[in-house]
Amino acid sequence: MAEIQSEIDDDISNHTANASAHHSRYSNAEAVAAMGTKANTNSLNHDRHTPVTILADLKTVDGKDSGLDADKLDGAELSDIQAEIDSDIDIHSTNASAHHSRYTNSEAVAAVEAGKVAFRARIPSGQALPSSGTQRVEWDTTDFNEGGGYSTTTFLFTAPSDGYYFFHAQLYLFGLDLQVGTRISLKLSHNSGSIAYDYREITHKDGQLGLPCLQVTAVENANAGDLFSLRVSHDNSGKTVYIVQDTEFSFFCGHRI
């Protein structure tokens, strides 16, 4: 045992005397600097890669069937997407019911105008209501009749199409022999039903010069072919009542909303 210990001591003495066999102790700063130098030259160091170098490296391996799919949309190649779009366009182009030729300006205006419904009717010569009872007002002239709904022979408005319609009518009446207590009424009818009504009663003898005015206004939902008419009645028995003919006094108008 003493011989072994002596051998070890000799080896330590020889190592201590050999200047090339050891070096001075590193400080902390020296050790960190030495490790940094080593890391910078190591191919595994992640700091070597920047976003630019990563993108460049990806481009070298990306492509069809690479598994990366960086140039695909939901796994589809751009060329496949374009081919699908072209196919859809070709199918649409050959489907005659899927499109129409472009309207010209005049055609577009004509299409819009064709849907208009509006009229204004009047009685240029007035109308005599010679007996008591109910009579249809005979509006025999139109200032305009878009859609052709109003007839100057039947004195009826026929709805050309389904929809909501607005109507207004006004009558001025006079009679040289209007008696006190005479009752006069105006009724707007939709088919066989009344939808608007106005009523006046002559309360004094001056009523013959007071031009009694009757008005009705209505908004009605109608089906194509429905009929609208105006009827007036009075009980001035044996005496004639007249509808004033001036346009601003007596008229019937309407339009589809």
Read off the pLDDT of residues 103-135 as tens digits, 9 standing for 90 and up: 788 777 776 666 899 999 999 988 988 777 789
Q: Is 123 found in the same domain as 239?
A: yes
| For the ranges 37-41, 49-53, 71-75, 189-193, the one whose mean pLDDT is highest | 189-193
Number of domains into which the chain is organized: 2
Q: Is 135 found in the same domain as 240?
A: yes
Of the two residues 11 and 26, the one the predictor is more confident about is 11
Average pLDDT of the residues in 181-210:
83
Does residue 17 sit within a domain?
no
Q: Is 127 found in the same domain as 56?
A: no
Average pLDDT of the residues in 232-251:
83
Does residue 15 sit within a domain?
no
Q: Residue 79's Cα: distance from chain center in Å?
A: 36
Does residue 62 sit within a domain?
yes
Q: Is 246 found in the same domain as 128?
A: yes
Average pLDDT of the residues in 24-50:
65
Both tokens assigned to 165: 């319609």
Both tokens assigned to 16: 């201590």
Both tokens assigned to 108: 């577009």
Q: Is 220 found in the same domain as 158?
A: yes
Q: Is 128 found in the same domain as 73?
A: no
Of the two residues 203 and 147, the one the predictor is more confident about is 147
Does residue 208 sit within a domain?
yes
Q: Is 248 found in the same domain as 121?
A: yes
pLDDT at site 205: 62
Q: Is 240 found in the same domain as 183?
A: yes
Of the two residues 17 and 124, the one the predictor is more confident about is 124
Q: Which of 39, 74, 90 is the last residue of a domain?
A: 90
pLDDT at site 250: 94
Question: How do 227-234 and 133-136 pair as beta strands?
Answer: antiparallel
**In the 8-state DSSP scheme, what is residue 160?**
S
What whole-number distance in Å separates Cα of residue 107 and Cα of residue 129? Answer: 47
Q: Is 48 found in the same domain as 131?
A: no
In the chain the first and final C-alpha atoms are separated, in Å, by 124
pLDDT at site 203: 77
pLDDT at site 46: 54
- Residue 138 pLDDT exceeds 70: yes
Does residue 156 sit within a domain?
yes
Q: Which of 52, 71, 90 is the last residue of a domain?
A: 90
- Using pLDDT thresholds of 50, 70 and 90, give the confidence band for residue 207: very low
What whole-number distance in Å separates Cα of residue 185 and Cα of residue 249? Answer: 16
- Residue 216 is part of a domain; what is its CATH number? 2.60.120.40
pLDDT at site 209: 52
Degrees to nearest 5, angle at CA 170 with 157 and 252: 25
Residues of the domain holding 181: 117-256
SS3 content of the chain, % helix, strand, coil (to 5): 30, 30, 40
Q: Is 134 found in the same domain as 64?
A: no
Q: Is 252 found in the same domain as 192?
A: yes
Does residue 109 sit within a domain?
no
pLDDT, tens digit, for every residue of 144-188?
A: 999 999 999 999 999 999 999 999 999 998 876 777 788 899 999
- Residue 223 pLDDT exceeds 80: yes
Does residue 9 sit within a domain?
no
pLDDT at site 21: 65
Q: Is 144 found in the same domain as 44?
A: no
pLDDT, tens digit, for every residue of 52-107?
A: 887 777 777 776 666 666 667 777 777 888 899 999 888 887 887 776 677 788 77
